[in-house]
Every structure is written in C-alpha cells, then in structure tokens.
Structure 1
Amino acid sequence: MKLRNILIKVLACSSMLIATSSCSSFLDREPQGQAVDTPVYYDDVENAQMAVNACYQAIAQDQGVVAHMQEWMFGEVMSDNSWKGGSDFGDMQDVQMLKEWTAVNVNATSHSAWKTYYQAIHRANTAIKGISPATSFDAEIRDQLVGEALFIRAYSYFYLVRLFGDVPLFTEPVSPDQIGAAGRTPVKEVLTQIEADFAEAAEKLGTKSEMEVGRATSGAAKAYQARVVMYDIGIWNANGHTWQEVFDLTNEVITSNQYSLAFNLATVFEKDGENGTGSIFEVQHETSNTGWANQNTGSTSPILTAPRGTADIKGWGWGFLNPTQDLVDEFEANDPRLDWTAGQDGQFAHGVAQGVAESQFLSGYFPRKVLMDQALRPNEQSDNPQNQRKFRYADILLMNAEAAYHIGNEATARQRVNEVRDRARSMTYPKGWNEADNTYAERDNSGALPEVTATGEQLLEAIYHERRVELALEGLRLWDLMRTGKLETALKKDNIGYREGITGDIVVGNMDGKKLNGIPVLPIPAAEVASFGLTQNPGY
C-alpha cells in the first residue's frame, strides 16, 4: 500500500513543527508551545511518528517554498541534457539564468532549494532530539524513527552541499543565541556528517521488505552513502575516499536481495510502477484536494513537464524540461529507451496525441519518461499523484560497474552494464503508444543494444554512456559531468538551450567566476547573507 499515514497526518503536524512559509529564514526557531517543546510530547509514539512524517513532507515540497523548484532544474537543465522550455525564455527566467550561469543572489529557484532543505533539516533535528530519549514505547520503533530523521537530514545536506558548497551545519535545533553567529562549515565537515548520518541510518532502519512502503530503508541509506562517496571522489576529493568503498556499498545493496530491475522498463515511471522492485527511494505524492502547492500532498512536476501543445493538438502542461538533440543523438540505433525518454510532436502517450512545438525556446522534444497519464490529473493542477523517483536500482548497478572498473575488475563492470542493457532490450513501447490504447505495446528489439565487450578506457566510456541514456532527465547529469571532469566540454555544445547570442564559451566564462575552491556553486540567498552574516559565494 502507499505511504498514506505519512501523507494524511503530515498536514496536521507540519505546522506545529515549523511553518517555513511564514518565516524569512532557514534558521527556523525552536517549535513554539509546550506540546512540542517538552520531552513528554515525543514520548508518545503517535506524536513521534508525526514528527518524522513532517520531515518527509518537507522534502516533498517540490512546488518550492519560494518558487517552483525541482531537482531536474539543477541536474538536467543546467547540463547538456535539457532546455528549460516553457512559454518563452522569461517563463521561470531564474531557471534560464541558472543554466547560463547568470543567476543573481535573489534567484528564486536556488533560494527555494536553500529554504526547503533547511526546513527539512530543522524538522529532522527537532525529531532526533525529541525522540532519541523516549522510553514509553518500543525501543526498536524509536530507533527506526530516529534513523528516518537521520536519513532525511543527510539527504537534505547532500542536496545543499552540491549546490552551495560550504553551508551552515546544524545537528540540533537552532537556538536563539546561535542565529546571529551562523557561519559556513567547510564541505569536508559537511560531507563527514552526511556520511555518518547515512551510516547510522542504515544501522537503525529495516530493509525494504521490513519497512512501510515509501519510508527510508537501510538499502536507501547505503545507496546514498555510496553516491556521496562517489561524488566526493570526483568533485571535492575532501575525505580521501576510494572506489573500493563505492564498490562495497553498492555490492551490499545488490546482494541484499531486496531489489531487482523491473522486467519492463516502460513501467517504471508510470503509476503502476511506483515503489516497484527497482525503487530504492521515492518521495511519495498523492492527490489530497487540500489546496494549492504546499498545502497539498501532490506534485507540481507533472504539469510543469507535460507538453504545452500546438495549434493542432491541445496540451495540458507548461512545457518545461525539453530533451536536447544532443541527448537524443547519444542513444544507439534502435535503443528502445529513446522513445521512452524523448517524445516528439504527434506521437501518442497514454493513447493521446501529444502536441510539441519547436522554437527558439522549445527543443521540439518532451520528456516522455516522466509524463503522467493525463487521466490522473487532479482538480488542483499542483496536486498530481506522481512520486518523485530519486534512486533506482539501475543506478546502483551502474555505480557498481564504474567502481568495479576503477578497482581493476572489468569483468564485473561489463556484467553490470549488460544487466542494464539486457533489461532495456526486453522493454515494450511506452505506455499508450497507439491511439486510444493505454497499454504497453510489444516491440521487436532483436539486434538492439549488443552486449558491451569493451576493455580499458572504452569500457569506462561505455559506462558513462549507459548512465546518460538510462538515467536521462532524472536529475543526475550535472553531477556526473562535474565528477568526471566533462562539464565545461558539455556546456560548450551547440543547441542545448541557450538564448540567442549566448555561446557555450560565454556560459563557461560565467561559471568560472562562480567557483568556490574550484567547484561551481550557486548564490546563497541575499537575505540570509545580510541577516545572518554569512559569506556570499564568489561572483554573487
């Protein structure tokens, strides 16, 4: 069943923990009122569960607490995988400015990420502090709840450190005397805390089969710990990690027997694929009919990314996240994942024709992979019942392949890559490929995606290729480019969604002026810098 108790109870309890929408700072004060300020409040199992549910709600606010904010805005639009799209370049202009590295210190999209994840951190710290000493209910339940809060704190800091570099690090609710003295903690220390939180969460949490559907699990904690280590190796090199660590962590997930590749890849992002066998972590969403944006438990992403339509074919979305021609060209001939990833004008999806325009701000493709069946559209357009797929088992296999390559185990590297390709070879057409037929039409993929037999550097490039085509539009591309040293080359490509007169060389020059310790970073919100004495990132 879906994680319904989180979604139902969260609206009742989140305002008690913190109402960030009415607070101008990420440094949210201690919850007010005796009910949530005292240890006795958290010594009740239902209250403790509600406190943790509120942590999940914080990371589910994909509408953003300042402006629309989706992970693909950073991980895909800021790369060579996607144009911004929309009605014109001025539609969500702050995202276009991120793409071209012209963002200013009041950029609403990056501000929303900062505020959203510090809200989640505050809630997690409040829950950890309150629940840890509880004695009136089962200790195993108590430890599990603390583990979930630790997971969400680590998840949130990992999001922030990738965008902003050095960030204020808090492991307890912020007290009034700390507010004026907030400083930025070096990336190395933040990463150390993230890794420790994920490791402790892995010990406290149950496996996927033991935990309620939708909650963090030990496997998810290990998967994210592996991702942190992999990113550190290639981006910051802060903590002396090795590829052996990535291999060992991913291998623990693989050998846990908790995950497997869904037989038909075409189902993974559909409603019937939610929380499936290959799902390691998903942020849960369902229609609640409780109002606009953060008042509900739905997701805004489906309407943001659905096609706008054309004069001939009516659309229902806002047309953001347009796959680039460069991404389309990355797919091998007859790779069935191309039709699943990048849709075109006139094609059918869920049995309905899709209208996709091409212009100076629209690439002519739409993100078919993440398209929600329009039959599921709610009355409130921000309240869509589509989970955010945050970590898939295919990613673990490809991480394991890359780690295996780097430790000299090329046979395992080829095996893992071919597992992913074998599954893709067995997939159907995307759901509703034919008019008025919302089923999975069979397709003949014989001869497609031959087994990878490469060695040496060619094998590594095959792994990179497989990551790009398998995980396209899932918010990972920017970080893969950064950690592999390929970002500047990617941003200099033609036809990836810049405004007229903006070249790749200009964009890279803009980015070069906005690096902290050699790593590109986004602006810390101006209000936070001014109010709390934080040092602004270079170039802002």
Structure 2
Amino acid sequence: MKKTLVIIVFAVGLFACRKLDQPITREFTETAYWRDQQDALDALSACYEHLSKTDYFFGDEGLSDNAYVNGSGFLNVTAIANGGYDPSNARVADNWGYYFTTIRRCNILTGNIDKVPKLDSTLKHRITAEARFIRAYAYFQLATWYGDVPFFTNVLSIDESRTINRTPKNTIIQFVLSELNAIRADLPVNNYSGSSGYADKDKGRITRGAAIAFSARVHLYNGEWQAVVSDCELLINKTENGTYGLMDDYASIFTVGNEYNKEVVLDLQYGGGRTYDVQRAFMPQTVALLRSVLVPTQDLVDDYVMTNGKGIKEAGSGYNENDPYTNRDPRFNATILHHGSTVTDFNGAVQTILTQPGSNPATNTVDDQGASPTGYYFYKYYDRTSTNYQSGLNLILIRYADVLLMYAEAKNELAQLDANVWNNTIRALRVRAKFTDAGATEFNAALTQEQLRTVVRRERRAELAFEGLRVYDIRRWKIADQVLAKPVRGIKVTSGAFNRDPNGYIIVANRTFTNPKHYLWPVPTFERDQNKNLSQNQGW
C-alpha cells in the first residue's frame, strides 16, 4: 500500500454554507486540526470525496458482458475483460490504492474525532457512523475484487504498512456487516423536510436506509438469502427506516431535474464545482464530438424481453430479426441508442442516429473508426443540460429498484417467490416501465424455480443496465467464465469488411476468462514490491 504521509485535502464540503458538490481549497495538517466542529465535518467530507469515482462507475460496465471499451480507457478495463492482464494493470493497481486511501481517511477521522472540544454528541455519532459506512464500503470493494486483503481500523505507520499480512475475505465481510448493523441507529432517515435535521446542503449524505440496503447487497453477494430478505423487509412498504418508492417514469430517474428522488438510496454527488465528462465516451460522436469508446454489446440488447414478457428466442415472442427493436422492453430505448433512434443534442437539435454500414451520414455508423464498433450507444445518464460537456448529474450507487430485485432473487432462492412477492417486485418494476401485456406483468405459477431464476436475473440486467452492477452479478453467480469467454458482438450486417459470426453479427473482440484465476484480481505488483508479506492469489 502506498503509505506516504497524507495531507488531508478536502475537495467537497457537506455542511455550513457548502453543499456536497462544492469544492473548498483549505488544506489541513494533523498538527493544526481537530479544533472545532467544522474540522470534523470537513474530515468527513474528505471521506465522502473518496467513496468512488466515475472511472469505476462507468468502467465497471466494460468489465461485464453489458459493454465494451474500445481501447485502454477507464484504466484499461478492456485488458481485464479480455483476460489479457497482469498484476500491473492500471485498474487493478488503482483500485487497491484508491480504496486503501479511502480507509485511511476514515481511520483518521474515527481515530481523532474525540479530540474535537465540545462536539455535540448526536452530531459526533452521526459523523462517525457515516465514516464507518464509507470504510465498510471500501473494504467490501477490496474483498470483492481481491479476496484476502490487509485489514486495520487505525492509521498505520509506514513500517506497519510494509509488514502487514492479508486478512481472510470472510473476516472482512463479517466486519462490514457488523459495521453496517452497528451504525444504523446513528444515521438519519431520508426525510428532507427538515424533521431529521436535513436541509438542501445535506442531501446526498449516507442514511439509515443506505446502511440497510448496502447490508442486503453484501448478504446477496454472499448468498445469505434469509438475511437479504430480512434487510429488504425493513425498507419495502415501510417508512421507519426511510421512505422509498419507485418513480413513475424510468428514464426520468437519471436526470438532473429529478436528483434526490424517492428511488435514490445512495448516490455519488456531482454538480457545482465537481463534474465529469464521461458521457463524451458513450454518446454518438455527432452529439459529444469525441470517439465513442464505451458501448453496449449485442448480448445486452438480446437480453431485453419483448413487451409480452418473452425472451426473443422463446416461442411466441413475436421477435423479428429484421425489425429487432420493435415491441421490446420499454427500458431498452431509455438505456440504449440503436439504428434509427433519435436524440436531442446539446444544441437542442434532434438527431437521428444511424449505425448500419452504408448509411448517410456515416459518422455514427460502424464504418467510422470514431463511432461505436458495436453499432449501439448508451443513452442512460446522458445529461444534455451540461455545459461544455461537463455533467453534474449524480450517479446512483443504490436505488430502491435494486432493493426490490434483491428481495425477489432471495425469495426465489428460498423457493418463496409467489404472486405476492412478484407483485411487489417484478410486476411493480414492469408496470413502472410501461409494460401492459399480462404476459409480462402477471405472475405465472407454472414456472419452476429455475425458470423464475432466469426471469429475475434477466429483469435485474434490464432494470440496472449501465449502473455498474452487472460485473458483480456475473461473478457471484459464477457465470463470468461463460459470458466473458465469448466474443463481443455488435449489430447484424449484410455487407462490409467486418469479422462476423455465422449469423451475420459483427465480432468486435474475443474474450477469455479462466476459472478460478480470473474470479479474483491479483495483488498489484507495486504493493508486493513494497510489502513482501503480501501473498498472491491463485494462478497469478
């Protein structure tokens, strides 16, 4: 681990007259710190600043079968997805250092907050709880990607950082779950009316609902189904731990105008002085004026069901390969741009996006080297209100729809997915998405547990596409060695010098995934050079 002395530089403020998305320029050393309440709040801001980042949020799609990154962008996730990487890979190394920096910031706060004189007890417990959540989130990320990792809750000296061993993954996961349970009572609920102490400047902070929902996610990834159910039932159709619900319109969730809506459980804060231009990598180049390098795959497109609820390969689905985008899951067009899609660009002009070879103009077609090589573009999280392509749109880490999907999956694994559970989860999501056919919305009691598993997993993929979660799902389901061992496919074409599969679909790249080696990332080379006590994962 990189253990140079940390001078805490706080780039975002949470309280006083600052909002979470507003940067500040004060610098603090440990000798001139912990003087008053504001110092403690600014220390917490430093922890929030390091919760996650856009390279991870968007780049994680490229680690899955949902998307492909054309080139070495997003810290070279393509090498990981293709199976051609080593312990020096940029994302592998960055991920380790980033989250251990997060942990250090949180440890500095929890280890020093008692020094602040006359700090209100309730505020102190709340600040500490939020820092403990962020630390737990960082440890969960590390354990998920690397398995066993060094574990500590104090600030390590340089000598300690060079000798510490790795702690078993299960020990760390149990710590994460224990923390998330312990901090719940000290966290406010998501009531922005002011009754819980919230105000506009406090939006985006960690709440009790976030701790519960994240606990459910950790249990989900650990296959602890009853625990998932117990956590989710604290939030579904209840208000004691926060008031959550589905928005009426799917596409509107991911817009600046609807930030902090009732579906958001936890999000990364942007806007004001903190922005990103990642949308320039996933929108058509006629819109964003840059190469389109983060693009959807044909496999993702194929997994969207028809409006009657049937998969495109099922008998009676009505799917027409020559008219592939008609009568598809309404969330498809809210997430992905395809040949013939229209989009309003930053200047307010409506563009028709053409992706088939030979189209005129050819700028967004698979013929153009700067266009999407798959013939598809992501549309979700496109923020046309941004100035100079710099978006301030918050990125949602957990939303209520995910809580419903976790609940449905856990109930099915317990053989308890009945009509009541279906109506509160899958049906609710599909009705919100504007499905109207009973074949899509009504519970089919004739389906087996295995068939329902397929439905739930497909629903999860469609609902949460381009939200960075698919890579975790294919790994915990142990299907990554299947779905990432296939070529990346693009649109079906009938002409042009393209590498195509037997059905005419463009083959963009080939991928490999070795089981069990690639289910865990290697410990980065730099870290093992600094600390000879760090062991390496199997196969690396």
Residues 274-304 of structure 1: CA deviation (Å, up to 9, x unaligned): 121100000101142xxxxxxxx22343233
Q: CA deviation at 1:110?
A: 2.2
Residue in structure 2 matched with residue 422 of structure 1 by the alignment:
431
CA contact 1:247–1:400 (8 Å) conserved in 2: yes
Secondary structure at the aligned position of 1:349 is classed as: strand
Query: For 1:216, which of 181, 206, 212 is the aligned residue?
Result: 206
Residue in structure 1 matched with residue 316 of structure 2 by the alignment:
none
Q: CA deviation at 1:341?
A: 1.2
Counterpart CA distance in 1 for 2:508 and 2:289 is: 31
Secondary structure at the aligned position of 2:397 is classed as: strand
Structure 2 unmatched ranges of 5 or more: 1-12, 307-326, 354-362, 491-498, 500-505
CA RMSD of aligned residues (A): 2.7
Q: Which amino acid aligns with 1:72?
A: F
Residues 467-488 of structure 1: CA deviation (Å, up to 9, x unaligned): 0111111111122122223222
Residue in structure 2 matched with residue 396 of structure 1 by the alignment:
403
Q: CA deviation at 1:345?
A: 4.5
Counterpart CA distance in 1 for 2:262 and 2:218 is: 23
Residue in structure 1 matched with residue 394 of structure 2 by the alignment:
387
Q: Matches of residues 30-41 of structure 1 in structure 2 within 5 Å?
A: 32-36=29-33, 41=34
Change in 2 beyond 3 A, CA 1:397/1:513: closer
CA contact 1:132–1:146 (8 Å) conserved in 2: no
Decide which structure has the larger Cα Rg and report it: 2
Query: For 2:301, which of 328, 344, 364 is the aligned residue?
Result: 328
CA contact 2:75–2:90 (8 Å) conserved in 1: no
Counterpart CA distance in 2 for 1:221 and 1:139 is: 21
Change in 2 beyond 3 A, CA 1:524/1:452: same
Counterpart CA distance in 1 for 2:293 and 2:489 is: 14
Residue in structure 1 matched with residue 527 of structure 2 by the alignment:
528
Q: Matches of residues 279-298 of structure 1 in structure 2 within 5 Å?
A: 279-288=264-273, 297-298=274-275
Q: CA deviation at 1:391?
A: 0.6
Q: Normalised by the size of structure 1, how large is the TM-score?
A: 0.78
Q: Which amino acid aligns with 2:334?
A: W
Q: CA deviation at 1:273?
A: 2.0
Counterpart CA distance in 2 for 1:121 and 1:158 is: 11
Change in 2 beyond 3 A, CA 1:93/1:479: closer
Query: For 2:486, which of 493, 513, 528 is the aligned residue?
Result: 493
Q: CA deviation at 1:8?
A: 6.1
Counterpart CA distance in 2 for 1:248 and 1:405 is: 14
Q: CA deviation at 1:198?
A: 1.5
Q: Which amino acid aligns with 1:475?
A: G
Query: For 1:77, which of 43, 62, 75 is the aligned residue?
Result: 62
Quick check: 1:165 aligned with 2:147? yes
Structure 1 unmatched ranges of 5 or more: 17-31, 63-68, 234-241, 289-296, 427-444
Residue in structure 1 matched with residue 315 of structure 2 by the alignment:
none
Comparing 209-218 and 314-323, the one that deviates more: 314-323
Quick check: 1:512 aligned with 2:539? no
Change in 2 beyond 3 A, CA 1:494/1:403: same
Residue in structure 2 matched with residue 365 of structure 1 by the alignment:
376
Quick check: 1:260 aligned with 2:245? yes
Q: CA deviation at 1:316?
A: 2.9
Residues 23-76 of structure 1: CA deviation (Å, up to 9, x unaligned): xxxxxxxxx54113xxxx15x1111100001111112543xxxxxx323323x2
Change in 2 beyond 3 A, CA 1:174/1:318: farther
Residues 54-103 of structure 1: CA deviation (Å, up to 9, x unaligned): 111112543xxxxxx323323x2222211113xxx355682210111211
Secondary structure at the aligned position of 1:157 is classed as: helix
Query: For 2:50, which of 24, 42, 58 is the aligned residue?
Result: 58
CA contact 1:10–1:54 (8 Å) conserved in 2: no
Query: For 2:341, which of 331, 337, 347 is the aligned residue?
Result: 347
Q: CA deviation at 1:356?
A: 3.3
Q: Which amino acid aligns with 1:208?
A: N
Structure showing the higher helix proportion among its residues: 1
Residues 137-194 of structure 1: CA deviation (Å, up to 9, x unaligned): 2111110000110111011111121111111112111123412212211101111111
CA contact 1:78–1:98 (8 Å) conserved in 2: yes
Residue in structure 1 matched with residue 278 of structure 2 by the alignment:
301
Secondary structure at the aligned position of 2:85 is classed as: coil
Counterpart CA distance in 1 for 2:229 and 2:73 is: 42
Quick check: 1:452 aligned with 2:425? no
Secondary structure at the aligned position of 1:376 is classed as: coil
Counterpart CA distance in 1 for 2:107 and 2:472 is: 27
Residue in structure 2 matched with residue 273 of structure 1 by the alignment:
258
Residues 370-397 of structure 1: CA deviation (Å, up to 9, x unaligned): 2221x4134xx6x531211111100000
Change in 2 beyond 3 A, CA 1:461/1:61: closer
Residue in structure 2 matched with residue 472 of structure 1 by the alignment:
465
Counterpart CA distance in 1 for 2:210 and 2:414 is: 24
CA contact 1:282–1:390 (8 Å) conserved in 2: yes
Q: CA deviation at 1:346?
A: 5.2
Quick check: 1:189 aligned with 2:199? no
Q: Which amino acid aligns with 1:362?
A: P
Counterpart CA distance in 2 for 1:135 and 1:332 is: 59
Counterpart CA distance in 2 for 1:278 and 1:91 is: 31
Q: CA deviation at 1:523?
A: 2.8
Q: Which amino acid aligns with 1:56?
A: Y
Query: For 1:109, which of 91, 107, 111 is the aligned residue?
Result: 91
Counterpart CA distance in 2 for 1:320 and 1:502 is: 13
Quick check: 1:123 aligned with 2:84? no
Counterpart CA distance in 2 for 1:205 and 1:72 is: 28
Counterpart CA distance in 2 for 1:535 and 1:502 is: 33
Q: Matches of residues 424-439 of structure 1 in structure 2 within 5 Å?
A: 424-425=433-434
Residues 450-503 of structure 1: CA deviation (Å, up to 9, x unaligned): 323244322222111110111111111122122223222212334348997964
Secondary structure at the aligned position of 2:288 is classed as: coil
Comparing 490-499 and 51-60, the one that deviates more: 490-499
Comparing 121-130 and 198-207, the one that deviates more: 198-207
Secondary structure at the aligned position of 2:398 is classed as: strand
Counterpart CA distance in 2 for 1:465 and 1:249 is: 23
Comparing 252-261 and 218-227, the one that deviates more: 252-261
Q: Which amino acid aligns with 2:293?
A: F
Secondary structure at the aligned position of 2:189 is classed as: coil
Counterpart CA distance in 2 for 1:501 and 1:495 is: 5
CA contact 1:134–1:142 (8 Å) conserved in 2: no
Count, aligned residues: 458
Q: CA deviation at 1:318?
A: 4.0
Change in 2 beyond 3 A, CA 1:394/1:513: closer
Q: Which amino acid aligns with 2:444?
A: T
